[in-house]
Amino acid sequence: MTLLARISKLFQADMHAVLDKIEEPEMLLKQAIREMAAAIATQEQTLRLCAHERQQLNKQQAQLAESLADMEEKIALCFKSAKDDLARLLIKRKLETQQSQSGLVEKLTTLNEKISRLTQQITEHKAQLADMQQKADALLDKDNSDLGQWRQQHPVQDEDVEVAYLLEKQKWSAL
């Protein structure tokens, strides 16, 4: 490794260390949790839209099934009445309706798979979010307990209070 490359890596490492000290890990962690919660909310909204769309497709499917049953009766009537031309038209509409029904079944299958995937993703993301929140709570509690321990190890002395009092008194009397 050349000297220049080594110096470059050393400089990068130092810059990363400086950036790590500048950034507040607690704030970054809280922001990551907020972003994750927002992403879950977006996924849940998408899931609700998909569920609504599935409901609409199921209604359409029921209407097509009802329409097919109605056409069957009409076709039977046409054959009984010897109206072959009218029967042909109804058979054509029946075939078109059956094709629409097949397309609708494909859409429903695809939509059900999407809903299943989204539900699984949301469940996984919620578990990850709960885990991240637990870790964040534990980290923040640890930081607070570390501060409490530091305060216990370094209590404010009476002399420090007296000196601070005199400094404040001098500052306020000058005004």
What is the tens place of the pLDDT at every residue in 76-121?
A: 998 899 988 999 999 999 999 999 999 999 999 999 999 999 999 9
Q: Domain for residue 99, yes or no? A: yes
User: How far, in Å, CA of 126 to CA of 120, rounded?
Assistant: 10
Using the structure block, give the residue that is written with the tokens 């922001």: 31
Q: Does position 1 have pLDDT exceeding 60, yes or no?
A: no
User: Is 54 among the domain residues?
Assistant: yes
For 78, the domain range is: 20-123
Q: Each residue of 140-158: pLDDT tens digit?
A: 666 555 555 555 556 767 7
Name the more confident of 148 and 57.
57
Q: How confident is the model at residue 63 (pLDDT cuts 50, 70, 90)?
A: very high
Rg of the chain over all Cα atoms, to the nearest angstrom:
36
DSSP letter string, 62-123: HHHHHHHHHHHHHHHHHHHTT-HHHHHHHHHHHHHHHHHHHHHHHHHHHHHHHHHHHHHHHH
Residue 6: inside a domain:
no
Q: Is residue 50 part of a domain?
A: yes
- Report if residue 49 sits inside a domain: yes
* Angstrom distance (rounded) from CA 91 to CA 68: 10
Domain membership flag for residue 38: yes
What confidence tier does 136 reach under pLDDT thresholds 50, 70, 90? confident
The number of folded domains in the chain is 1
Q: Is residue 41 part of a domain?
A: yes
pLDDT at 140: 67
Any domain includes 84: yes
Residue 156 or 128, more confident? 128
pTM: 0.61
| CATH number where 90 lies | 1.10.287
Mean confidence (pLDDT) of the chain = 82
